[in-house]
Every structure is written in C-alpha cells, then in structure tokens.
C-alpha cells in the first residue's frame, strides 16, 4: 500500500475485537470518495433492478429473454450494479492490495459522471425501445467504460506486486472492452436486424464474455486477495486461482469462437475449460475456508457461499443448454438467472458487506478509536438483518427458478417481490452504515 495514500486503520474487526488492534485492511484515503460515489450509484441501480425484476417477472416465467424489457432490466444489474460496484472496488483495491495508486483520480470521477447516468439512459432506452435515449445512453456508457479501462490500465504498471490478482484485473478489463464491442453490435442489430438469425448466438457470446470474462474473472482475482483477509485464513494452498484464471481466460474466447461460427467443437472445448476453471475457483475458496482462524462465518461471507451454490447450478445447466440449443428458452432464462442474479449479483452483495462498512468507519471514526460509543466495523450494521436479507434473496431466486420451470407468472411475481424486499433490507443496512452505524451508538458517542 502506498504510504502517501492510505493510513493504517482497522481490519474488518468483530464485535469484540477493537478495530485498533485488528490487523490489516487499510482503505486508500485518496480514493475513498471515488469508491464511495460508485458504491452509492451501484446501490441505486440494484434497487432499480429489483423494481424492474417485478415488472419483467411474467416474461421471465415464460422464458421470453429476447424481450427488450428483460434486456433493459438486465443491464440495471449488470452495468448498474455489478460494473459500477467493481469499478468502485478496484479504485480501492489497486492502491491497497497491489500498491498501485490510481493514475488519474479526476479521470475516475469523469468516468463515473458519464458512466453512471449513461447506464440509466441506456437501460431505459432499451427497455422502452427508444432509439434516441439508447444512443445517448450508449455513448455515455462507452465513454465511461473507455475512461475507466484506460485509467485502470495506466494504473496497473505502477503496481509493486504483479500477482494473480493483477493478472486477473488485466484480463477482466480486456474482456470488458470486448463486452462493449459485442453490446454495440447487438444494439445496432436491434434497430437494423443486420445479424439476423445469428442474434441469439452473438447474444450468448456477449453474455458469457461479460459475466465470465469481466465479472467472474474479477471475482476470482479479487477473492484471492480479500477472502484470506476476510476469513483470517493463512497458509492455504493458493495455486488454484492461477489455474482457474488460465482455464477461464482460454475458455471464454473458445466458447465465443464456437458460438459465433458453426464449429461446435470449439464451443464444447470452451465449455469444458470454463467448467474446469470454475471448479478450480470453488476449490480455492474451499482451501481458504479450510484454514480459516475465525470459525464463525459472518453474514457478509455467507453471501458468497450461497452465490457459489447458484453458480454451481448454472454451471450444471450450461452443457445441457449447449446440447439442446437456444430454443429451450426457459432453460436459457433459468441458466442466466441463476448465474447472474443468484450467483455474481449475490457474491458482490457479500463483498459490499465487508468493504463498505470499513470505508464508512474510516470516514467517520478515523483517529477516534478510543472514544466511547465508537462502534467496531462489524457493529456498523445488523448481522441479524443481513441474515434475513440473505434468506430472502436466496429464497427469491429459488422461487423464480421454480416459476420458470412451471411457467407461472404468479410464482415469478412472488419471487421478484421477495428479491425486492431483500434489496430493501440491504439498502436500509447500508444507509445505516453510511451514517456511521446505528443511531443509538452515534448518539452515545455524541454524549
């Protein structure tokens, strides 16, 4: 970590461990505001996505994944929640974990102020099939991504350590750039139909490059650094991450090649590599868990575990879908729903529970650790409410999957409303975190 950029502050702490004595995680103070604005916008988009989920519930139940409504709402989650949250997290992680201060903080802010409003316009334009709004939205999104990718790429050479996390970030931003190109092709096709029958194959390519290449590879790389810290796990065999990254990074282009050409053999090799890469990641997570010092798993760390279960389900459906083809629209919808909503969306929620309280703690209490009433990082939110939220969100994805299996709109509405309720609990929790912890503690401190 750069000495000029961060100050020693507490670890993720526990209710009983005073933050001052806990080791290790130190936010990069120069980029706290940058991360904070990204996290706030990401939360708004998660909420918007959850509301949108209720709206598209019947279309999901009937496997109507080509609907513009579904595509619009999907991007509230993928660009609005996931991509915005990842940008914010990288602006913290790069200085703290890799010793690479962000190259241009102002470019980071400029990227945010183009990307964040652009996502909303793009998603609304797609959902509403309004070309003018789509065009303004995609222009802002593209500029925002170009600025963020350039900034991150210019930051990476400054890193003091070039480990697997560093390599994962480099790979991930490359896949994000490809995602953008494929997305623009798909958007143009919505107006012109120029790729005709190839639409579903290009769409499948786009979403795998995006979800596996951009989001999952980031998750694998970031988890490699953060899980041992969050779990207090030392001495695990850490070779699985490297293998996972190689398999995933080779598997994505091979799958893309197989899907976009008629050489199905490449698609099958790609799928095999992706399955193996994902299995290696799961093995790595297990290795961290098996050596963890803290036996009790806190709420933030339960989300990634549940998310992995949904990702495993999606991984099992993947080869089935490739075998039966894109006409099995409900299987396809269940596959993306499980991997996206139950998998990567929930995984990032768990990491939010670890990262955001730490940043907020730094902003409110740095230098005041000994003052009475100052909460530990873990006391900034309710562990009980987090467990309720997890139960709601996990149950909601299961109900949605059942709804798709039964083609039941009513069940889909129930699942979507449950998901929205879980997100509302999350918003309430993070609002508490943002103002420095529960009111009674803050009041005590003032007294």
**Residues in the site for ligand HEM, rule: CB under 6 A?**
65-66, 70-71, 74-75, 78-79, 82-83, 138, 141, 145, 179-180, 183-184, 186-187, 190, 199, 203, 206-207, 210-211, 214-215, 336
Q: Shortest CA distance to 169 belongs to which of 209, 213, 205?
A: 213
Q: Of the two residues 180 and 259, which places its CB atom closer to ligand HEM in the complex?
A: 180
Is there a contact between 368 and 374 (Cβ–Cβ < 8 Å)?
yes
Q: Of the two residues 180 and 392, which places its CB atom closer to ligand HEM in the complex?
A: 180
Q: Of the two residues 214 and 352, which places its CB atom closer to ligand HEM in the complex?
A: 214
Residue 447 beta carbon to ligand HEM: minimum distance, rounded to whole angstroms: 47
Residue 200 beta carbon to ligand HEM: minimum distance, rounded to whole angstroms: 8
Q: Of the two residues 77 and 288, which places its CB atom closer to ligand HEM in the complex?
A: 77
Residue 203 beta carbon to ligand HEM: minimum distance, rounded to whole angstroms: 5
Residue 215 beta carbon to ligand HEM: minimum distance, rounded to whole angstroms: 5
Q: From CA 436, how far away is CA 373, in angstroms rounded? A: 11
Q: Of the two residues 178 and 360, which places its CB atom closer to ligand HEM in the complex?
A: 178
Contacts 24+ apart (CB under 8 A), 402-408: 403/57, 403/60, 403/61, 404/60, 404/61, 404/63, 404/330, 404/333, 404/334, 404/337, 405/330, 405/334, 406/61, 407/61, 407/62, 407/63, 407/330, 408/61
Q: From CA 378, how far away is CA 13, in angstroms rounded? A: 6
CB neighbour list of residue 236: distance below 8 Å, 6 or more residues apart: 228, 284, 287, 288, 290, 291
Q: From CA 226, how far away is CA 107, in angstroms rounded? A: 26
Residue with the closest Cβ to ligand HEM?
Answer: 183
Residue 321 beta carbon to ligand HEM: minimum distance, rounded to whole angstroms: 13
Contacts 24+ apart (CB under 8 A), 187-190: 187/126, 187/134, 187/138, 190/68, 190/126, 190/129, 190/134
Q: Of the two residues 138 and 306, which places its CB atom closer to ligand HEM in the complex?
A: 138
CB neighbour list of residue 362: distance below 8 Å, 6 or more residues apart: 7, 9, 27, 29, 32
Residue 302 beta carbon to ligand HEM: minimum distance, rounded to whole angstroms: 23
Residue 214 beta carbon to ligand HEM: minimum distance, rounded to whole angstroms: 6
Residue 211 beta carbon to ligand HEM: minimum distance, rounded to whole angstroms: 5
Q: From CA 21, how far away is CA 9, in angstroms rounded? A: 9
Q: Of the two residues 292 and 330, which places its CB atom closer to ligand HEM in the complex?
A: 330
Q: From CA 35, how far away is CA 291, in angstroms rounded? A: 31
* CB neighbourhood size of 370 (10 A): 8
Q: Of the two residues 183 and 299, which places its CB atom closer to ligand HEM in the complex?
A: 183
CA torsion angle 34 39 40 46 (round to 10): 150
Q: Shortest CA distance to 173 belongs to which of 140, 205, 132, 145?
A: 145
Residue 231 beta carbon to ligand HEM: minimum distance, rounded to whole angstroms: 26
Q: Of the two residues 9 and 322, which places its CB atom closer to ligand HEM in the complex?
A: 322
Residue 66 beta carbon to ligand HEM: minimum distance, rounded to whole angstroms: 5
Given the structure tokens 């999104």, which residue do they identify? 141
Query: In the numeric block, which tokens belong to residue 56?
Result: 């598209």
Provide DSSP, 351-405: HHHHHHHHHHHHHHHTT-TTSTTPPPGGGGS-HHHHHHHHHHHHHHHHHHHHHHH
Q: From CA 261, how far away is CA 202, in angstroms rounded? A: 10
Residue 195 beta carbon to ligand HEM: minimum distance, rounded to whole angstroms: 9
Q: Of the two residues 192 and 370, which places its CB atom closer to ligand HEM in the complex?
A: 192
Q: Of the two residues 6 and 84, which places its CB atom closer to ligand HEM in the complex?
A: 84
């Amino acid at each position: 970590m750069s000495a000029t950029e961060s100050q020693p502050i507490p670890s993720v702490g526990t209710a009983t461990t005073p933050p001052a004595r806990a080791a290790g995680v130190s936010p990069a103070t120069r980029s706290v505001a940058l991360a904070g604005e990204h996290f706030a916008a990401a939360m708004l988009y998660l909420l918007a996505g959850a509301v949108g989920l209720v709206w598209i519930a019947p279309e999901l139940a009937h496997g109507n994944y080509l609907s513009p409504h579904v595509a619009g709402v999907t991007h509230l989650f993928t660009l609005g929640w996931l991509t915005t949250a990842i940008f914010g997290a990288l602006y913290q992680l790069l200085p703290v974990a890799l010793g690479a201060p962000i190259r241009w903080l102002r470019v980071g802010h400029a990227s945010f102020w183009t990307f964040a409003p652009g996502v909303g316009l793009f998603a609304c334009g797609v959902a509403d099939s309004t070309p003018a709004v789509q065009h303004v939205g995609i222009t802002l999104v593209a500029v925002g991504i170009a600025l963020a990718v350039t900034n991150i790429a210019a930051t990476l050479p400054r890193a003091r350590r070039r480990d697997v996390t560093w390599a994962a970030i480099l790979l991930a931003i490359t896949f994000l750039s490809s995602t953008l190109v494929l997305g623009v092709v798909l958007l143009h096709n919505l107006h012109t139909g120029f790729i005709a029958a190839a639409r579903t194959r290009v769409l499948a390519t786009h979403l795998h490059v995006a979800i596996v290449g951009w989001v999952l590879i980031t998750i694998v790389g970031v988890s490699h650094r953060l899980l041992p810290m969050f779990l207090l796990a030392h001495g695990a065999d850490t070779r699985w991450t490297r293998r996972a990254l190689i398999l995933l990074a080779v598997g994505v282009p091979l799958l893309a090649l197989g899907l976009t050409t008629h050489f199905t053999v490449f698609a099958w090799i790609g799928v095999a590599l992706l399955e193996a890469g994902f299995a290696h990641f799961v093995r790595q997570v297990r290795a961290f868990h098996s050596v963890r010092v803290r036996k009790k798993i806190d709420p933030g760390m339960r989300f990634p575990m549940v998310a992995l279960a949904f990702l495993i389900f999606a991984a099992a459906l993947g080869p089935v879908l490739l075998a039966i083809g894109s006409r099995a629209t409900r299987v396809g919808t269940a596959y993306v729903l499980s991997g996206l909503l139950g998998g990567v969306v929930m995984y990032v929620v768990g990491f939010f529970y670890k990262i955001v309280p730490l940043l907020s703690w730094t902003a409110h209490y740095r230098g005041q650790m000994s003052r009475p009433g100052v909460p530990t990082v873990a006391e900034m939110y309710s562990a009980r409410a987090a467990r309720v939220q997890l139960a709601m969100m996990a149950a909601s994805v299961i109900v949605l999957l059942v709804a798709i299996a039964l083609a039941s709109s009513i069940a889909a509405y129930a699942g979507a409303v449950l998901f929205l309720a879980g997100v509302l609990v999350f918003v309430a929790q993070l609002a508490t975190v943002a103002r420095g912890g529960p009111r009674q503690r803050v009041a005590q401190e003032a007294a």
